[in-house]
Amino acid sequence: MKNKKPLKLSVPSQVNQITSVSTATFQDGELHPISKEKESPNYIEQSEVDFEFSLEDLEAVKVVGKGSGGVVQLVRHKWRGNSFALKEISMQMNRSEEIQKQILQELRIHQALQCSHVVGFYHSFHRSRSIYLVLEYMDRGSLADVLRQVKTILEPYLAVVCKQVLQGLVYLHNEKHVIHRDIKPSNLLVNRKGEVKITDFGVSATLVSPKGQRDTLVGTYSYMSPERISGSTYDCTSDVWSLGMVVLECAIGRYPYMQSEDGGSCPDFYELWEAIVQNPPPSAPPDQFSPEFCSFVSACLQKETEKRTSSVDLLSHPFIKKFEDKDIDLGILVGSLESPMNFPR
């Protein structure tokens, strides 16, 4: 296979307006440049850098994570020095057609997104047994990595995290008509500037895709909304439920359906199904948290979708507004932590 192709690599500089975007798409074993996006507010300003770019131009620095799909490494461009996250998705182990379709879906959806609260997708390469995604490197890892060190996150910082995730969700839901479907701590990445970005679109569904594709039961069960785990139809507000679960977990320091921090083994699928579908939704204890926070969690964790607040309306919720002009710097919190690479899982 021919490895080198002249490609334009877009490197994000500052949050402002998109000027232009270029990336490449993987199709039928070949890479093809994809078209530029129109100008739109609230997206990343991209400064274009034109240079030859191939997988061989990247050198591995360190493995930074491992998920069910494969390994994620910090890599560096050999001459230019840019850092990226290289996510390898192994196509070995006789991956089923369904999984392969999901992987290609992740590429298709992710490469079409340009938002300062969605992890940048720069490139994809196909080698015989693997697909490699070149992603924006988020140097403080995921919210799950942060939680492993701090155990709980205080309300002012949580408001800053929530606002950024909501901005990402509003972009996905309202601009791109995409339901993420796998919002969970390990898919919310953080960098030293205190930016929070959504990643992993392997199980995302565009609202315009055929209904059948949207109804398959994929994604992480623990953060799934009642309508999703019970196999009913669902909409963008299922991501809002997942966000509510994540936020509550960050506040109380344990997965909300677990009784205590060391509350024994993780619930299995049927226990989870019973808890999520049959029990009242979890809530923030009002004696430990502000009324605004309790109300925010409750607005997310409504079992009936019609009663759940949309991502766009949550952006103006009193909990988010309360800390907006307080200049809370999440960068200080995450900057004080051990790098996830040095912190054992």
Interface contacts to ligand ATP, rule CB under 6 A: 64-69, 72, 85, 87, 119, 135-138, 141-142, 144-145, 186-187, 189, 199-200, 220, 340
* Interior angle at CA 206, CA 203 and CA 212, nearest 5: 80
d(CA 302, CA 300): 6
User: Of Mg ion, ligand ATP, none, which one does residue 138 interact with (CB within 5 to 8 Å by kind)?
Assistant: ligand ATP
Among 136, 145, 155, 200, binds Mg ion (CB under 5 A): 200
Rg (CA), the chain: 20
Q: Which amino acid is at 160?
A: V
Do the Cβ atoms of 18 and 43 come closer than 8 Å? yes
d(CA 131, CA 125): 6
| Burial class of residue 129 in the structure, from the number of CB atoms within 10 Å of its CB (0-12 exposed, 13-18 middle, 19+ buried) | exposed
Do the Cβ atoms of 326 and 156 come closer than 8 Å? yes
User: Of Mg ion, ligand ATP, none, which one does residue 309 interact with (CB within 5 to 8 Å by kind)?
Assistant: none
Long-range contacts of 276-279 (CB under 8 A, 24+ apart): 276/224, 276/225, 276/226, 276/229, 277/226, 277/229, 277/230
182 is catalytic: yes
- Which CB, 186 or 310, lies closer to ligand ATP? 186
**Residue 151 counted as an annotated binding residue:** no
User: Of Mg ion, ligand ATP, none, which one does residue 114 interact with (CB within 5 to 8 Å by kind)?
Assistant: none
Chain length of the chain? 345
- Which CB, 62 or 307, lies closer to ligand ATP? 62
Residue 187 interacts with Mg ion (CB under 5 A)?
yes
Binding part of the chain for Mg ion, among 193-201, 239-247, 282-290, 296-304 by CB under 5 A, reads: 193-201
Q: By C-alpha distance, which of 274, 302, 270, 297 is closest to 285? A: 297
Name the minimum Å distance from CB 199 to Mg ion.
6
- Of the candidates 139, 145, 182, 239, the residue annotated as catalytic is 182
- Which CB, 141 or 256, lies closer to ligand ATP? 141
Q: By C-alpha distance, which of 155, 119, 123, 158 is closest to 138? A: 119
- Which CB, 99 or 315, lies closer to ligand ATP? 99
- Which CB, 61 or 277, lies closer to ligand ATP? 61
Q: By C-alpha distance, which of 73, 50, 51 is closest to 62? A: 73
Name the minimum Å distance from CB 17 to ligand ATP.
23
Binding part of the chain for Mg ion, among 33-41, 187-195, 224-232, 237-245 by CB under 5 A, reads: 187-195
User: Of Mg ion, ligand ATP, none, which one does residue 168 interact with (CB within 5 to 8 Å by kind)?
Assistant: none
Strand 121-127 relative to strand 178-179, pairing: unpaired
Return the DSSP state at 203. T
User: Of Mg ion, ligand ATP, none, which one does residue 64 interact with (CB within 5 to 8 Å by kind)?
Assistant: ligand ATP
Residue 195 interacts with Mg ion (CB under 5 A)?
no
Binding part of the chain for Mg ion, among 92-100, 182-190, 241-249, 251-259 by CB under 5 A, reads: 182-190
Which residues of this chain interact with Mg ion, rule CB under 5 A?
187, 200
Catalytic residues: 182
